[in-house]
Structure 1
Amino acid sequence: MNDAYGTNDYSFDAFLEQRKKIDFYDDDIHLQKVVAHYAGTDAERLHAQLGGFSKVLSTRWVALAERISRVEVRPSVQHFDAFGHRIDRIVRPFEMVELEQEVFREGLFSSTIDPLESYAKRLLLNELGDVGLNCPIACTDGLVTLLRSYAADDSPELVRILKHASDGIGGEFAIGAQFMSERQGGSDIPANVLEAVPDGRVYRLYGNKFFCSVTHADYAVVTARISGTSQISLFVVPTWLPGDKEKERRNGHVVNRLKVKLGTCELPTAEIDYHGAVAYPVGDQGKGVSIAVAMVLTKSRLDIGGASAAYVLRAHREAQLYANFRTVFGKKIAEYPLAARQLRDLRLVAERTAAGAFDVFHLYQSASAKEGDETSRRLFQFRELVLMQKITAAEDAVDAIRKAISLFGGHGMMEDFSCLPRLLRDAMVSEQWEGPKNLLLTQIYRDLHRVSSWYPATQFVFDILQGLEEGKIHSYARRLETLLAEPLTGATTDHLLDVAEEFELLCMGMFRARQELARARVEG
């Protein structure tokens, strides 16, 4: 009998070798152009910084991410130690802890790092997917932003937490989280019933939070209702009080269970019961919702825009590499016009989404640089563009990754063959986190009505689409004025269902036009 009978010597080795050589930044000419455009005179220094960062990211951290994403090492909770003590230890693979420590030691939120450098590095990190890392980074971003505004000398605990999260203490960098969702509604923060009871300079928390991602974090930003009032306030809650982390003695709370989620599966997300946890108040009493939205949620939505861009950049790169390698019916996949069109579309979506993400981040950095009425208008533009980006980029990322997967054929379904199935699930989570589409569209509609006396919708459209053909701007502006005249927050009718669909398409269309303008500026 011939031992070679039925053998198949087809090999993916050439594809794997090419994939190993990819550098996320150095091999992405468009991303380099985007960074250079917004860096200005700092472009050369920033280019060198991102090049060195990407070399580690594209080799060591990619390998760690692949090991972290295995199903058998997903997080679990150990409620008790061997001696009956309640510890609620979040068990994670060693590779996860290692990756987390290495990345946080980069000082991404240090007071000395340039904000654009931090943003660009965080966007690159999202090309790994979430892998239990990038949600903690986004949440820490929100914590640091909050405390830079509200930590003061009369609150030494908050000052120390800020230092721990931004510049580190003794070489250790703290991780932040944000716990706002309760059983009665995730985005409906005003409906929170978690109770905050005054206790001298601090508060004690009693009740339940239902969806708490980054359960292993050192500190959480938590919304709660002041006891005996209707006021929602904001607090920073240490997971462990000083000296208790080593003893695994949690600060007045227990972890009920970890959630089983569609995506971000490497990230521990829990239900938590508070039984008198010490909480430090942040900002004015009763202003918790407005502060959380303005600082914490806005930064998270901004980060989702960057993450969505990263997902599409990675998806296009992976699909292009495979299509250039794989031969089907005598030709490379990339040589078939129908497949080539998909690859072209993926590239264009990746480029405009990346350029748009940096464009919105630049607006965030510059929004308060103007004076007088211009300041209010710039801040409003940023607020609405963040919402539009969150809706549009998150949806486009899901569609783009799905299209990239199709170019792999059956291999696209295999999670140990490609990162794309994992990125798809993570991208679908991004569509829901920090507000689903219908909620954010409603907010845009209400915002435009709220400011109409001093910032007409027509002017808003002209301002955010400067550079677009004037006829197209007029068309967008007329359609928006017409739709705003409809009672979209009123009773549901068949007519309003059609209006709602048109409003959604208009908002997303305007933001995609803004992305294309950003891409055109970058490409020259």
Structure 2
Amino acid sequence: MEGGLALVTKTKNTYSFDSFLSQREQLNDFDNPFLVELSKRYCDQDWATFNQEMKAFSAKVSGRWRSISNEMARVENHPRLRHYDAHNHRIDQIVRTSDQEMMEKEIFSEALFSSQISQGEHAIKRYLIHTNGEAGVACPMACTDGLVALLEKFQDTLSPPLQKVLQHSKEGIDGEFALGAQFMSEIQGGSNIPANVLEAIPEKEHYKLYGNKFFCSVPQADYSVVTARVQGTDHVGVFIVPTWLEGDKEKERRNGHEVNRLKWKLGTCELPSSEINYQGAIAYPIGPLEKGTALAVGIVLTRSRIDIGFATAAHMMRAAREASLYARFREVFGRKIDEFPMAKAQIDTLVNAAKRSTATAFKIYQDYHHVEETANVSEQKRFDVRELILLQKVFSSKEAVDSLRTAISIFGGHGAIEDFSSIPRIFRDAMVNELWEGPRNVLLAQVYRDLKQNAYWYPPEDFVASLLNGYDDKTIHSYGTRLKKLMKTNLYDTPNEENIVAARQWEQVLGDIFYLYQQQELKSYPDFAILPQEVYDTFL
């Protein structure tokens, strides 16, 4: 004290995250040596031109679209439902920000489903879009893929209304591209499509739908693929339902249905998910009505499961790149984070998961299209691809949650702050991805049934040998024997002590087999980094 006044000492702390943020904001997702090398393999056009196009596309993804995606994650910007207009007309309008609507229009205007887009370009652009983790656009993108695939399956027999739907979805009409959706879940069934009770009543060239769908994402879509039980039969058919009839979109007058409410979800919060009551909606049947479940699962859900493979891989790659960058920037206890063995081990595991999942997602995508478009593919190959899609959905989505949790921990306390990085938001989205298109237990049981039913012509040992082709005989024999032994237990029976133990082992063995499959695919690439060297060098 001097003269009765306290002396105040001010300490200036100049620490800043600015150098890290500067590098992070400059990252272009295609400035990824590993992804570039992978893209060369899947590029089906002139590489020099393709490389420049992907860099330009990725600049939009990593720049303005990423900024919009981050803003959409804020609670005040989440979609809302407006039931009535000012004149008491029921409209059920999905209210979103103008930025999100603009981004959606720009992304769909890339015409990703056009016949002018090659498979390689389609796949790489889809992957890059998923690095933002913005489900409000990514989900309708996946749903539109399934809608287009279903329409193309029956292209030669489509009615005029469905021919227009295909044109609108693939090539656009007057520069506008349609959004698709798929509404299959009902309150009593969830993933159990054969349990659908929504009723389809025939009326001239179309049907009318009556009943409820309990979980409907993208209610703002132009068209939806809907499963419904055909009146007076045991058949669950597939229908295409326009959200608006001709001239009604501008009037916000929906086609014979109402949106009850929007769901409050753990993740994918930028994506409106709803409950819908059908009150005579006009619906157009597609394909044999008695084959509806097979069409829904075999085409629509399969496409969505492949998309989840891309999404989980892209989420892991985004997290691995940003966590690696932060670990090189941040100094604690006198060392960079990545100079501690425990942290470095976690980062290496993150990077391996991102690369492994990315390599596998592209491989499975390519193999799927090969078996779909080639007449003389063996049944064994078709079976392998079917099961790999299921295994990828189960284990990549599970690993994405684990990887993103690890990435959050690299950021320490800042990892929980949702405007410090996008990783917490993508973590919540990844948890939802585990549930889309069948949760883990449902799909593991499906693999069991598939292997059991086809064992007479394709023994489980041969299945393992096909997936792990390239590994030594001892490894193949070991996993083949374990799989065969577990299949002797009825994993679809009423739970008992024996089959509960076997069920746990079933998941473990299949997870090990899929991991080895992924590692084998990754071995075909040299050891490329996921960040350019000059980015690391910034923080030396």
TM tier, smaller: over 0.9
Superposition map of 1:383-398 within 5 A: 383-398=386-401
Match of 1:146 in 2: 150
Question: Secondary structure of the equivalent of 1:491?
Answer: coil
Q: TM-score, normalised by structure 1?
A: 0.97
Paired residues of 2:151 and 2:158 also in contact (CA < 8 A): no
SS at match of 1:300: helix
Aligned residue pair count = 522
Q: Out of 467, 471, 481, which is 1:468 matched to?
A: 471
Q: 1:144 to 1:40 in 2, by over 3 A?
A: closer
Q: Distance in 1 between matches of 2:372 and 2:260?
A: 43
Unaligned ranges ≥5, structure 2: 1-5, 528-540
Partners in 2 of 1:164 and 1:128 — Cα distance? 26
Cα distance in 2 for partners of 1:131, 1:208 equals 24
Unaligned runs of 5+ in 1: none
Where 2:378 maps in the other structure, the secondary structure is helix
Q: Which residue of 1 aligns with 2:423?
A: 420
Distance in 2 between the 1:482 and 1:45 partners? 52
After superposition, what is the alpha-carbon deviation per residue over 1:31-63, rounded to whole angstroms, capped at 9, x for unaligned? Answer: 111121233675444333322211111111111
Does the residue aligned with 2:117 lie in a helix, a strand or coil? coil
Deviation at 1:153?
5.1
TM-score (norm 2): 0.94
Shift of 1:3: 8.1
Distance in 2 separating the partners of 1:265 and 1:414: 17
Write the distance in 2 (CA, Å) between the matches of 1:362 and 1:332.
40
In the other structure, the counterpart of 1:135 is: 139
User: Which residue of structure 1 lines up, in the alignment, with residue 93 of structure 2?
Assistant: 89
Q: Judge conservation of contact 2:230–2:236 (CA < 8 Å) in 1.
A: yes
Q: Distance in 1 between matches of 2:382 and 2:61?
A: 34
The one-letter amino acid paired with 1:383 is R
- Cα distance in 2, alignment partners of residues 161 and 440 from structure 1: 31
Deviations 1:187-208 (A, max 9, x none): 0000000000000010000000
Check conservation: 1:65, 1:131, Cα contact below 8 A.
no
Partner of 1:299: 303
**Aligned with residue 505 of structure 1, among 508, 511, 529:** 508
Q: Which residue of 152, 160, 166 maps to 1:162?
A: 166
What is the CA–CA distance in structure 2 between the aligned matches of 1:154 and 1:245, rounded to whole Å? Answer: 23
Task: Give the aligned partner of residue 249 of structure 2.
Answer: 245
Identity of aligned residues (%): 48
Which aligned pairs between 1:307-346 and structure 2 lie closer than 5 A?
Answer: 307-346=311-350
Deviation at 1:240, TM superposition (A): 0.2
In 2: Cα distance, 1:488 partner to 1:45 partner: 52
Cα root mean square deviation, aligned? 1.5
Report which of the two structures shows the higher radius of gyration computed on alpha carbons. 2
The residue that corresponds to 1:34 in the other structure is 38
Is the aligned partner of 1:483 residue 2:483?
A: no
Distance 1:510 1:362 in 2: 20
> Residue 235 of structure 2 is aligned with which of 211, 223, 231?
231
**C-alpha contact (below 8 Å) 2:229/2:235 kept by paired residues:** yes
Contact 2:209 2:281 in 1 (8 A): yes
Alpha carbons 1:37, 1:522 under 8 Å: kept: no
Counterpart residue number, 1:22: 27
Counterpart in 2 of 1:48? Answer: 52
**Aligned residue in 2 for 1:203:** 207
Instruction: Determine which of 409, 414, 434 is the counterpart of 1:406.
Output: 409
Cα distance in 1 for partners of 2:511, 2:307 equals: 18
Aligned equivalents of 2:243, 2:524: Cα separation in 1: 45
3-state SS of 2:282 partner: strand
Preserved contact between residue 153 and residue 159 of structure 1 (Cα < 8 Å)? no
Residue 63 of structure 2: SS of its match in structure 1?
A: helix
Change (3 A) 1:204 1:87: same
| Shift, 1:485, TM fit | 1.3
